[in-house]
Structure 1
Amino acid sequence: MKIWSSEHIFENPWELVVRAQWRKYPNKFNQAVEGIDVVDRQIDSKGVLRSHRLLSTRWGIPDWATKIIGSDGVGHASEHSAVDPRNKTMELKTRNLTFCSKITIDEKLVYSPHPEDKNKTCLKQEAVINVKGVPLGSYIESFVCDHISKNASKGREAMDHVINTIKLETVELQKEAKHAMESINLNFDI
């Protein structure tokens, strides 16, 4: 078993970072995620938004390897998330479904406000990789761990890109709203 963990601070408030997380895929930084389907979404009695999504990802495995393992290179994962607006936490837990009898990858991300600066958000990320009954299991665990580390940095780049996109959209909406209000006020002056 290998455990990988990371912490990152986004220079933006929690509410904005959470909005960006929902819009993270697809992105140009990591094009592996090909599809996301919402299985279930509901708000529980405590006001927590709970979602279950299925993700389809392209693994980037060489053609010869996909033939050996009997795969078309597309993997599937199940993601459960909880957004608690009162306590300002967003937690995502993802587990692979493809080849889960041989390799399991349990990933957990937690977004919370920075304890000292409400305009920043902390991300704690962890992945537990476990390979069972496969030759060179330790090597495979290390390989997957390295791959997760590389993808995590791409994920943070994608989040920053989406955050900036949301900020630009907000500015544009404010301009449009101001222009609309000015038009309404001009019509009343006539």
Structure 2
Amino acid sequence: MKFFSCTHQFDYSWEEVSTANWRKYGPWNNKSEHVIGVDTLSRTIDPNTNILRTERLITCKQTAPQWVRSFLGSQDTSLVYEVSYVDPAAKRVTMCSQNMTWSDLLSVQETVVYTPAKGGRTTFEQQAKVIALCGGWQKIKNTIEDITVERFKQNAARGREGFERVLAISREVFAEQREQKRNEQQRAAL
């Protein structure tokens, strides 16, 4: 079993980050070309807590090294199941994901949390647990886990970079929308 963890601060408010989070796999993110589909399976709001719970299935182009693909099969897509919770009262977004493809051989469980930070910023915390489930051969298990954690680390850096772009574009779009709304309100007042 291997672990990956990182913390980052975005120079955007929690409101901006939690809203832009739903756009992070869209066309604004040039670092997420590997994501070829995001399907929302369910979305509910708890009437007592107002927590929004969303289940999604994320389809990605397979990026496993060739030697791994030859061992595990030539499948060119992978599926990830994600459950997220948006708690507006606590200002906390929690996203938990689990690989579905090759889950009988490798388990990758990821948790991402966004919370407000000082100065109008947002703290991003990411943790992943990687477990190779192939039987017996500890050296092979360790190698697979090490490679997976290293790829996870590289992908996490690309993901943060792409999300920064989404945040910047979102800020511009929201500023334009606010300006347009102000103009409409001023015209209506005349």
Percent identity for Structure 1 against Structure 2: 28
- How many Å apart are 1:30 and its aligned residue? 2.7
Instruction: Return the letter of the residue paired with 1:43.
Output: I
What TM-score do you get using the length of structure 2 for normalisation?
Answer: 0.88
CA distance in 1, matches of 2:120, 2:24: 20
Which range is displaced more, 31-40 or 63-72? 63-72
Which structure has the greater CA radius of gyration? Answer: 1
CA distance in 2, matches of 1:62, 1:87: 41
Aligned partner of 1:93 in structure 2 is 96
| 1:107/1:127 contact within 8 Å kept | yes
1:30 to 29, 32, 48: 32
Alignment map for 1:87-126 (pairs within 5 Å): 87-114=90-117, 117-126=118-127
CA distance in 2, matches of 1:111, 1:182: 36
Aligned partner of 1:164 in structure 2 is 168
5+ residue gaps, structure 2, are none
- How many Å apart are 1:183 and its aligned residue? 4.9
CA distance in 1, matches of 2:186, 2:91: 36
1:67-99 deviations in Å (ceiling 9; x for gaps): 542232200010001000000110000000011
Instruction: Return the letter of the residue paired with 1:176.
Output: Q
1:142 to 140, 146, 152: 146
- How many Å apart are 1:180 and its aligned residue? 3.7
Change in Cα spacing, 1:62 to 1:124, as seen in structure 2 (3 Å) is: closer
| 1:61/1:73 contact within 8 Å kept | no
- How many Å apart are 1:176 and its aligned residue? 2.8
- How many Å apart are 1:177 and its aligned residue? 3.1
- How many Å apart are 1:33 and its aligned residue? 1.0
2:72 to 69, 94, 112: 69
State the aligned residue count.
Answer: 184
- How many Å apart are 1:64 and its aligned residue? 7.0
CA distance in 2, matches of 1:65, 1:130: 15
Instruction: Return the letter of the residue paired with 1:88.
Output: K
Change in Cα spacing, 1:133 to 1:38, as seen in structure 2 (3 Å) is: same
1:85-131 deviations in Å (ceiling 9; x for gaps): 000110000000011011000000011111xx150111110000000
Secondary structure of the 2:64 match is: coil
- How many Å apart are 1:178 and its aligned residue? 4.3
CA distance in 1, matches of 2:148, 2:67: 18
- How many Å apart are 1:160 and its aligned residue? 1.1
CA distance in 1, matches of 2:33, 2:129: 23
CA distance in 1, matches of 2:53, 2:36: 22
- RMSD of the TM alignment (CA)? 1.9
CA distance in 2, matches of 1:182, 1:133: 66
- How many Å apart are 1:175 and its aligned residue? 3.5
Instruction: Return the letter of the residue paired with 1:30.
Output: S
CA distance in 1, matches of 2:74, 2:51: 37
